[in-house]
Amino acid sequence: MLLAALAVAGGLAAARADEPRAAPAPLSSTAETVYAAARPRLLQIRTIVDAAGRQYEIGSGFLVSDDGLAITNYHVVSQYALEPQTYRLDYARADGSKGKLDLLAIDVANDLAVVRIDTKGGGFFRFDPRAETGGPQKGERLFSMGNPLDLGFTIVEGTYNGPVERIYNERLHFSGAINPGMSGGPTVTADGAVAGINVARQLGGELVSFLVPARFAEALLARAEAQAAPPKDFVAEVGRQFTQWQAGLYGSLDAGGFRPITLGDYEAPESRAAWFSCWGRTNAGQVPKPRATIDVSTCNSDTQLFIANDLNTGFVRLTHVYVKSDSLNEFQFAAFLSQQVRPGFGGRSRKWQTPERCHEDFLAVAASGPRPPLRSVWCARAYRAFPGLYDAMLTAVTQDSGTEALVSQLNMHGVGYDTAVALGRRFLEAVTWTK
Amino acid sequence: MSADEAIWVEVLGRHRGVAMRHRCAGRVVRIGRAYSNDVVLDDPYVAPEHLHIVRDETGALVAEDLGSANGLMADRGSVRARRLVLADDTVFRIGHTQLRVRTAGHAVAPERVFGAAVRWWPALAAAGVAMLAVGAAMLWLADYGEFRPANYVVPLLAMAVLVLVWSAVWSVVSRIFAGQARFEANLLIGLAAAVAFEAWYELSEVGAFGLSWGALAAYRYVGFWCILALAAIAHLQQISPGRLAAKAGLIGGLLAIAIAVQVLVQHDPRTGLEESYVRRLMPPAFRLSRVENEDAFFAAVAKLQGELDRDRSEAP
């Protein structure tokens, strides 16, 4: 990513003679060969503040055709795509030559973009033919290239670790140092074929980096070559892709359905979808001893969608908080519960979202089976730039006891309104009790 | 009524209290700055021979201007008159001095018997205890943490100090304009207002939760301002009773301005202070409204979409 640079632990482990590839060769010489071939095909892609003529953001890219088409990340060119009147794009090559860039196509979900440079020739990268059939072998050496932190083009060796588990937008796990500025650069096999595109790294991890699988870049490239002209309004294009993407996401969430988990005397819904990571939390060990116990289950979807530097959306969160009074009376318990319930979104970006609007009431779910009465709050806000898309949050607090309660919350970012209402309804219907 | 009966000429202070009294006998009583007068005034705006008081043919007392430059001002000092018939409570002004003339026959209030005075302390103690007890109960019912006396003492002390300062300020105002501080009365008003504040706070919380009526909590301050306005009117009545309509009009105007300003600040989307849901929960037993069914709830939720789409077109 282009974001803040953190200190990253030094280079790769020393080369060992028993390298796992079929034709053993000294590592340094492989990287040397790969880089020598790749050097003229690498680009540094810069977003320039038009008025000041200074670079605002930097990323990397690579040529994929003889007539100047190149691949980079959507997030490298997003600022220009969303505000073309304020920014422009240009590129620099390893030999120091510079020029202008045109944005041809974007793929927001896979964080990819196709651009065209104003010169032709100089060679181009080919995609790894194994991309369609499962990609490289786990443990295979890959070489990632780009221009980290504007320090000049570099090549980094690392290990391929297969697709990332529990993630909605497919990503490859690459154990190598990808730094800010390398986004959009290629990660290639020893014979120079593109296996993936540098996209992100895990903050707080060591050498945990992510690649976009090459087949998505191939598909986008084919689309860009087929289209008569690039979209005139990329904001509308982002909105269109965002809408399409969330329809798929919430469709599969809906199709997967909910499964119950038990919290105290209640049963609460959790998604069956594979791309949730769930964590638990309790206040049991706190000092001083809490006067009510809290058990929390939070499931976050790994579905974040980068739209702009100040807008990440497209995630779902299911939170269940089971609270039981130990020595609190009903009033004190209600006050304590109020602290556990946050039915609103809190902060918002005035640029991207409207103020939230909420509806609240006491609710009896009519569906069959034993169900506690609920106090429910629905809050929603709209995206200004993307008609038909909203953030919605449904919170329910059980009202059957004065000293015990379940707070359940479904938080959906970047969702169609009807989809959100339908999911909210199913969510509420799945809150039951086992008494 | 004898023509020779002695009369009392009273020089009034700024707030109608009597500053000086002169007993005068004779057919003519002269008032002015010169030492030839019966009543000598040191007011430089009074003529040496300013006016005299005589009895007319019916025996009524009459003040007559003797040709002064500043004249004789009747009707609370706003109308210039050459000649003015005086009743017991007629106040007139020469120069900057307010005067009143009374005869020996003026009726006075009966003697006040010791012990009949209002005993403030029982009422004050009761109001003070009520304020602290209600405050402590509110704090206790919302206290879900470890018991710490400071959590109770500090806010209650702050409230007590606030009420004392508020009452003291009104006492000072009263002392300036009415000549009497009446601290006990002002304190009682202050304590009553504090109890009303506490009661309204709890009531609005219960109502907002029980009726799912967020506006009650969001616009709670309207009630606070009204209590403050009522207290201010009560304090003003202490300073001087009467002219209730004028006071109510003035305080009402200030009240309207205060509420309008707060509503404007609250609705400014830039401040983001508007509360869109009820924050404080209460025991389930405090539910006052009917339990909705699912369809009605989601119908109301669906209606929000139209409002959000309208918001979308508004300037951020």
Distance (Å, rounded) from C-alpha B50 to C-alpha B34? 9
Decide the pairing of beta strands A208-213 and A258-263.
unpaired
Distance between CA atoms of A392 and A383, rounded to whole angstroms? Answer: 11
Cα torsion A353, A75, A225, A163: sign: negative
Q: What are the tens digits of pLDDT across the range B217-257?
A: 889 999 999 999 999 999 999 888 878 899 999 999 999 99
Cα distance between residue A185 and residue A45, in whole Å: 10
A-chain residues near B270 (CB < 8 A): 350
Q: How far apart, in whole angstroms, are the C-alpha atoms of residue A35 and residue B115?
A: 107
Tokens 């929960």 belong to B281
From the CB of residue B241, how many other CB atoms can be counted at a distance below 10 Å?
9
Contact at 8 Å (CB) between A274 and A299?
A: no
Q: Which of B282, B306, B275 lies closest to A337 in space, CA to CA?
A: B282
Search chain B and give the residue with CA nearest A395: B277
Map tokens 């909590």 to a residue: B217
B173: left (phi over 0), alpha (psi -120 to 50) or beta: alpha
What confidence category does residue B77 fall into, taking pLDDT thresholds of 50, 70 and 90?
Answer: low
Using the 8-state DSSP alphabet, how is residue A26 labeled? -
* Model pLDDT, residue A6: 30
What stretches of A321-398 show up as alpha helix (H) in DSSP? 330-340
- Residue B144 sits at the chain A interface (C-beta within 8 Å): yes
Q: Say if residue A73 is exposed, middle or buried (CB neighbours under 10 Å; 0-12, 13-18, 19+).
A: buried
Q: Find the CB nearest A344 among B277, B284, B314.
A: B277
Contact A123, A71 (CB under 8 A): no
Distance from CA of B311 to the nearest CA of A (A): 6
B280 within 8 A of A338, measured Cβ to Cβ: yes
Would you call B285 an interface residue with chain A, using a CB distance cutoff of 8 Å?
yes
- Provide the edge-to-edge strand list for the sheet that holds B61-65: B39-40, B29-32, B51-55, B61-65, B83-86
Nearest to B283 by CA among A398, A293, A327: A398
Q: Give the Cα separation of A310 and A406 in Å (integer).
A: 34
Cα separation of A369 and A64, whole Å? 59
* Closest residue on chain B to A293 (Cα): B144
**Which stretches of B142-268 are DSSP H helices?**
149-178, 183-210, 214-218, 220-239, 244-267
Tokens 């200030």 -> residue: B254
In whole angstroms, give the CA distance from residue A357 to residue B312. 12
Contacts of A407 in chain B (CB under 8 A): none
Partners of A329 on chain B (C-beta within 8 Å) are: 141
Task: Identify any residues that bridge with A201 across adjacent strands, giving them in sequence order.
Answer: A209
- Quick one: which H or E segment has residue A209? strand A208-213
Q: Cα separation of B203 and B289, whole Å?
A: 15
| DSSP 3-state of A13 | coil
SS (H, E, C) A46-93: EEEECCCCEEEEEEEEEECCCCCEEEECHHHHHHHHHCCCCEEEEEEE
Instruction: Provide the pairing of β-strand A292-301 with A276-282.
Output: antiparallel
Kindly report the length of chain A. Answer: 435
* pLDDT computed for residue B18 by the predictor: 86
Parallel, antiparallel or unpaired: strands B39-40 and B29-32? parallel
Contact call for B312 and A357, based on CB within 8 A: no
For B302, the token pair is 């669906």
Which residues on B lie below 8 Å from A324 (Cβ)? none
Q: Do B284 and A331 touch (CB under 8 A)?
A: no
Instruction: Indicate the burial class of A142 (C-beta count within 10 angstroms; 0-12, 13-18, 19 or more).
Output: buried
- Computed on alpha carbons and rounded to an integer, the radius of gyration of chain B in Å comes to 31
Q: Do A354 and B285 touch (CB under 8 A)?
A: no
**Amino acid at site B292:** E
Q: What is d(CA A76, CA A174) in angstroms, rounded to the nearest whole number?
A: 20
CB-closest option in A332, A354, A359 to B141: A332
Asked whether A317 and A331 are in contact (CB, 8 A), the reply is no
Q: Where are the beta strands (DSSP E) in A83-207?
A: 87-93, 98-107, 112-117, 141-146, 154-163, 172-175, 186-188, 194-201
- Give the mutation candidate from A339, A375, A410 for the B interface (greatest B CB count, under 10 A): A375
> B293: which chain A residues are within 8 Å (Cβ-Cβ)?
363-364, 366
DSSP secondary structure string, A284-335? TT-SSPPSEEEEEEEEEES--EEEETTEEE--EEEEEEEEEESS--HHHHHH
Does residue B216 belong to the interface with chain A, where contact is any CB pair within 8 Å?
Answer: no
Q: What is the pTM of this model?
A: 0.81
Predicted local distance difference test score (pLDDT) of residue A28:
62
Three-class DSSP category at A204: coil
List CB contacts (< 8 A) between B145 and chain A.
291
d(CA A259, CA A183) in angstroms, rounded, equals 38
Non-local (6+) Cβ contacts of A359 within 8 A are A377, A378, B297, B300, B301, B304
Tell me how many degrees the CA angle A280-A282-A285 measures, rounded to the nearest 5: 140
Cβ neighbours, 10 Å, residue B125: 11
Smallest CA–CA separation between A364 and chain B, in Å? 5
Interface test with A, best of B287, B304, B313 (most A CBs within 10 A): B304
**A148-165 per-residue burial string, b: 16 or more CB within 10 A, e: under 16:** beeeebbbbbbbbbeebe
Instruction: Please identify among residues 81-140 of chain B the ones whose CB lies closer than 8 Å to any CB of chain A.
Output: 140
CA distance to partner chain A, nearest, from residue B307 (Å): 8
**Residue A1 in contact with residue A75, Cβ under 8 Å?**
yes
CB contacts, 8 Å: A428 with chain B: 294
Quote the ipTM score: 0.85
Q: State the Cα–Cα distance between residues A299 and B75, nearest whole angstrom.
A: 82
Say what the pLDDT of residue A3 is: 34
What residues does A43 pair with on adjacent strands?
A: A61, A93
State the average pLDDT for chain B. 89
User: Number of C-alpha atoms within 13 angstroms, CB side, residue A413?
Assistant: 21
Q: What is the pLDDT of residues B99-128, one digit of tens each?
A: 999 988 888 888 877 765 678 889 999 999
- Distance (Å, rounded) from C-alpha A377 to C-alpha B301? 9
Say which residue, B129 or A9, is predicted with more confidence. Answer: B129
Taking chain A (435 residues) in runs of 10, the rounded mean pLDDT of each run is 32 37 60 92 94 93 94 95 94 92 95 93 88 82 94 94 89 94 94 93 89 94 93 94 94 90 91 91 90 94 91 93 94 93 80 90 81 91 94 94 94 95 92 82
Q: Tell me whether residues A334 and B278 touch, CB distance under 8 A.
A: no
Which residue type occupies A432?
T
Chain B neighbors of A400, CB-CB under 8 A: 284
Per-residue pLDDT tens over the stretch B168-222: 999 999 998 888 888 999 999 999 999 999 999 999 999 999 998 888 888 999 9
**Contact with chain A for residue B308, Cβ under 8 A:** yes
Does A328 sit within 8 Å of B144, measured CB to CB? yes
Q: What digits encode the pLDDT tens for the residues B254-294?
A: 999 999 999 988 887 666 656 678 888 999 999 988 888 88
Q: How far is CA B313 from CA A313, A386, B48, B307, in A?
A: 21, 11, 80, 10
So what's the pLDDT on residue B272?
60
pLDDT per position as a tens digit, B133-158: 999 999 999 999 989 999 999 999 99
Consecutive H or E run containing B303: helix B294-313
Residue A54 has a pLDDT of 92
Residues of A with CB below 8 A from B277's CB? 343-344, 358, 360, 377, 379
Q: Which long-range contacts (CB under 8 A, 24 or more apart) does B296-299 make?
A: B296/A361, B297/A359, B297/A361, B297/A363, B297/A376, B297/A378, B298/A421, B298/A424, B298/A425
Q: How far apart are CA B80 and CA B88, in angstroms?
A: 20
Count Cβ atoms within 10 A of the Cβ of residue A95 and give its class: 0-12 exposed, 13-18 middle, 19 or more buried.
exposed
Out of A357, A365, A375, whose CB is closest to B307? A357
